């Protein structure tokens, strides 16, 4: 059977199809993959990721889209698989450079709309809603949106038909046999494409380190119901605000055990409003207690859903944990449930928050040590194998993960032996071209991360972050001198201001530093003294040598010269 088992423009064999990953291959987050067919490019997802703590003052990280900017005229569309931040979060930043139509399902676009409204970009952006199970033509591509299950709603995989064959991109998925509402995972369509012939499969590697199957979303019900039923007082439960299925189950459980629900936290309230208005969330009448009524409501009859499961600063959970929330406090015998994964990197703030809950003598439940209160939204090994077996691709490219995840996913595919051509381990910026008979590695394109300050929407240069890191480690030293513009003489003793260098007395050292500055100025000739950039550099170099000799620190040295 031909890999081009369809009758679409088979005559055009000179066309080339390239895949250009720009994010999510080598890290978790900022997912983005460009597909180029001749002179047309589509972009799959435009995600962000949260910065590691070394990136001081950076609010978020997005992919470098230099390649797309260089080929701006060729980019036809951005196609979204689902509404998680690691798939849509970069949109407000990249649409300024790349104003192209965005395709996504109803709920995904509702979340996008919210982001674009906040960024003032909604009027200038074209949003095109797609229906799972239907075909959409984005010339020269034809895309089928395949319903998949995951930890949020309205998620799709993509089957992208090209003259060279069909590309399948799974998006994020797990295979949930008993999903909570919504469409089931459409295994049949994957199988149909597999029978027809799949040129390349791009599949989610997130949970490749886990054997077996990821449990169904429904697996959390028994333990959560048990906890809500037996809780002596109020229940405060936190999950991701996008976990609409989890929220639905908590509402259903509350209703069964005779409790009402209250929602606190902006992202939680926003997402619940959106999902409810679109009928993705069923909330019985009279079920909701307003935040301002929480304090006066019988604590034995209440479940509070709060955002901030990762202990984000200023989030509801972080505030509640230190009695700093307007409407909610946690008291002795209240139940606190963290129904979410503790994302690596967030352990410190999360455990600090939980410690504060314990200090208040709350009954605290987190992770699954005492029964299943959270399940993952990503496929484990057996589900990943199933997708590989169904698609039987010619080429397989693992996506969504750090390098070891991609590597292990490749190894899993190798073990199965169902990839007829080649398994390609790729990282961001590496390019592969598919032709009629093989796949070629091509020259890499610019790729990487762009650091963003979410307040100003400005890009932060790596050099700025380096300075911040430097400041945080070694402090700053500012020598201040006053030079008479006419005589070239110093009119006062140099002053030295430091921050972040000494906890008590660096006085002796600073007296020495003043002498250094004096000597540097005295030993300069009158022309140098008139050129302040030269003087600043001389002072900086001499002080640096002095400080290095006497301490292990390398402070940022910023000479200031006052004109008198
Ligand atoms: Zn996701
Ligand atoms: Zn994701």
Positions in the chain whose pLDDT score sits under 50: 1-13
Q: What is the mean pLDDT of the chain?
A: 92
Closest listed ligand to the CA of 28: 2
- Residue 63 alpha carbon to ligand 1 centre in Å: 17
- What Å distances lie between residue 107 and 114, 249, 491, 510, 511, CA to CA? 11, 18, 69, 61, 65
Q: Which two tokens stand for residue 3?
A: 């890999």
The pTM (predicted TM-score) of the whole model is 0.85
pLDDT of residue 285: 95
Ligand lying closest to the C-alpha of residue 31? 2
Q: Which of 87, 169, 325, 378 is catalytic?
A: 378
pLDDT of res. 554:
84
378 catalytically annotated: yes
Q: Which of 280, 213, 278, 210 shows the shortest CA–CA distance to 245?
A: 280
Cα of 281 vs centre of ligand 2, distance in Å, is 22
pLDDT of residue 499: 82
Distance 49 CA to ligand 1 centre (A): 12
Q: Which ligand is nearest to the CA of 149?
A: 1
User: How many Å lie between the centroid of ligand 1 and the Cα of residue 218?
Assistant: 18
Q: What are the b/e assignments for 146-160, b being 16+ CB within 10 Å?
A: bbbbbbbbbbbbbbb
Beta bridge partners of 306: 238, 264
CB 133 within 8 A of CB 111: no
Q: Where are the alpha helices (DSSP H) in 137-262?
A: 187-196, 221-230, 244-256
pLDDT at position 4, please? 41
Ligand 2 midpoint to CA 207 (Å): 11
**Which one from 204, 334, 428, 542 is the annotated catalytic residue?**
204
Cα–Cα distance list, 405 to 26, 148, 206, 464 (Å): 9, 21, 7, 31
List the shell of residues around ion ligand 2, using CB closer than 5 Å: 86, 172
Cα of 24 vs centre of ligand 2, distance in Å, is 9
Residue 175 has a pLDDT of 98
Contact 413, 396 (CB under 8 A): yes
- What is the reported pLDDT for 555? 86
Which tens digits make up the pLDDT trace of 471-480? 788 888 889 9
Q: Whose atoms come closest to the Cα of 152: which ligand? A: 1
Q: Are 107 and 277 spatial neighbours (Cβ–Cβ below 8 Å)? A: no
Q: Tell how far the Cα of 32 is from the centroid of ligand 1, in angstroms.
A: 13
* Calpha distance 328→292 (Å, rounded): 9
């Amino acid at each position: 059977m031909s890999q081009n088992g369809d009758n679409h423009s088979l005559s055009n064999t000179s066309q080339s199809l390239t895949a250009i990953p720009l994010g999510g291959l080598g890290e978790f987050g900022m997912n983005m993959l460009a597909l180029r067919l001749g002179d047309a490019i589509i972009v799959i997802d435009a995600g962000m990721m949260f910065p590691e703590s070394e990136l001081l003052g950076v609010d978020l990280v997005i992919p470098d889209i230099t390649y797309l900017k260089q080929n701006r005229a060729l980019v036809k569309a951005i196609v979204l698989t689902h509404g998680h931040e690691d798939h849509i979060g970069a949109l407000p930043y990249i649409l300024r450079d790349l104003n192209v139509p965005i395709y996504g399902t109803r709920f995904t676009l509702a979340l996008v709309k919210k982001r674009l409204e906040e960024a003032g970009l909604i009027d200038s952006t074209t949003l095109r809603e797609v229906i799972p199970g239907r075909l959409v033509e984005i010339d020269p591509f034809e895309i089928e949106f395949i319903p998949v299950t995951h930890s949020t709603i309205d998620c799709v995989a993509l089957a992208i038909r090209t003259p060279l064959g069909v590309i399948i991109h799974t998006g994020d998925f797990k295979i949930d046999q008993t999903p909570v509402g919504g469409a089931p995972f459409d295994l049949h369509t994957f199988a149909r494409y597999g029978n027809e012939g799949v040129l390349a499969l791009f599949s989610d590697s997130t949970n490749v380190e886990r054997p077996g199957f990821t449990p169904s979303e429904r697996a959390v019900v028994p333990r959560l119901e048990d906890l809500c039923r037996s809780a002596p007082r109020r229940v405060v439960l936190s999950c991701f605000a996008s976990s609409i299925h989890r929220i639905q189950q908590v509402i259903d459980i509350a209703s069964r055990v005779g409790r009402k629900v209250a929602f606190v936290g902006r992202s939680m309230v926003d997402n619940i409003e959106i999902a409810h208005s679109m009928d993705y969330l069923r909330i019985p009448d009279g079920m909701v207690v307003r935040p301002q009524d929480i304090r006066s409501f019988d604590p034995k009859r209440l479940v509070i859903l709060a955002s901030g499961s990762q202990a984000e600063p200023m989030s509801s959970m972080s505030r509640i944990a230190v009695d700093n929330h307007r409407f909610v406090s946690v008291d002795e015998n209240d139940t606190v449930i963290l129904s979410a994964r503790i994302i690596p990197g967030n352990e410190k703030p999360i455990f600090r928050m939980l410690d504060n809950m314990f200090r208040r003598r709350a009954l605290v439940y987190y992770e699954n040590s005492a029964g299943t209160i959270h399940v993952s939204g990503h496929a484990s090994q057996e589900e990943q194998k199933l997708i590989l077996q169904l698609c039987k691709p010619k080429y397989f490219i693992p996506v969504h993960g750090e390098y070891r995840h991609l590597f292990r996913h490749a190894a899993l595919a190798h073990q199965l032996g169902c990839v007829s051509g080649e398994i390609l381990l790729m990282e961001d910026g590496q390019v592969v071209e598919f032709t009629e008979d093989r796949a070629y590695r091509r020259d890499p394109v610019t790729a990487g991360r762009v650091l963003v300050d979410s307040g100003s929407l400005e890009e932060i240069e790596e050099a700025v972050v380096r300075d911040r890191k430097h400041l945080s480690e070694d402090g700053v030293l500012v020598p201040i001198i006053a030079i008479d513009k006419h005589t070239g003489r110093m009119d006062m003793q140099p002053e030295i201001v430091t921050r972040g260098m000494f906890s008590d007395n660096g006085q002796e050292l600073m007296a020495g530093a003043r002498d250094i500055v004096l000597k540097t100025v005295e030993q300069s000739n009158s022309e140098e003294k008139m050129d302040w950039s030269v003087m600043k550099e001389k002072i900086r170099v001499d002080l640096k040598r002095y400080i290095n000799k006497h301490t292990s620190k390398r402070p940022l040295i910023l000479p200031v010269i006052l004109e008198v």
